[in-house]
Amino acid sequence: MWVALASDHGGFRLKKEIIVFLRQEGIAFHDLGPFSEEAVDYPDYALMVAEVVRKGDFEQGILCCGTGIGMVIAANKIPGVRAALCHDCFSARMAREHNDANILTLGQRVIGNGLAIEIVRTWLKAEFQGGRHARRVAKITAMEQKYGKE
C-alpha cells in the first residue's frame, strides 16, 4: 500500500499523528505538505493528493483540515477521485466497501487523535466489495464524463 497525505494548517497536527501511526504500521506514505502550521490554502493540498491518486502514483490519499469539509469538496472536483469525509469507523468502512473511496478526509477540530487513528486504520483495512456497488461507482464515473470532469 502506498498512501499520499497532506493537510492545511488546520489539520497539520492531526496529519503528524497519522504519520506516526503509518510508520508504526509499516505503511508506505509520502507527505505532500505543508511542513509547518503556517496558514495555507486547503485546495492546493487537496489538488496535490487528488492528482497523484488519480494518476495511480498512490493507491490512496488522506487529507486533513479543520473540519475535513473543504478538503472533501476540493478533492472531489478531480475526475476519478472519490473522497469521503469520515468522522466514525462505520462510515470509513462503508466508504471503502461500498463507494470505493480512494481519499479519506478528516477534521482535526471535529475528532480527537485516537478516533482519527481508528478511522484511518479501519479505512485502510477495508476493501471495495464490488458487485452491486461496482455498478453504482460506474454510474458516478459516467456522471463525471457527462458533465465534463473527464
Overall domain count for the chain: 1
Domain CATH code at residue 27? 3.40.1400.10
Question: What cell was used for 60?
Answer: 490512496
Euclidean distance between CA atoms 28 and 136, whole angstroms: 30
**pLDDT (average), residues 15-19:** 98
Euclidean distance between CA atoms 123 and 88, whole angstroms: 10
SS3 content of the chain, % helix, strand, coil (to 5): 50, 15, 35
**Active-site residue identified among 9, 64, 65, 86:** 65
**pLDDT (average), residues 42-62:** 98
Judge whether 65 counts as a catalytic residue.
yes
Judge whether 89 counts as a catalytic residue.
no
Whole-angstrom CA distances from 132 to 80, 99, 116, 143, 144 are: 19, 11, 29, 17, 19
Confidence band of 149 (pLDDT split at 50, 70, 90): low
**Domain extent at residue 45:** 2-146
**Active-site residue identified among 30, 87, 98, 133:** 98
Euclidean distance between CA atoms 72 and 56, whole angstroms: 19
Q: Answer whether residue 148 shows pLDDT above 80.
A: no
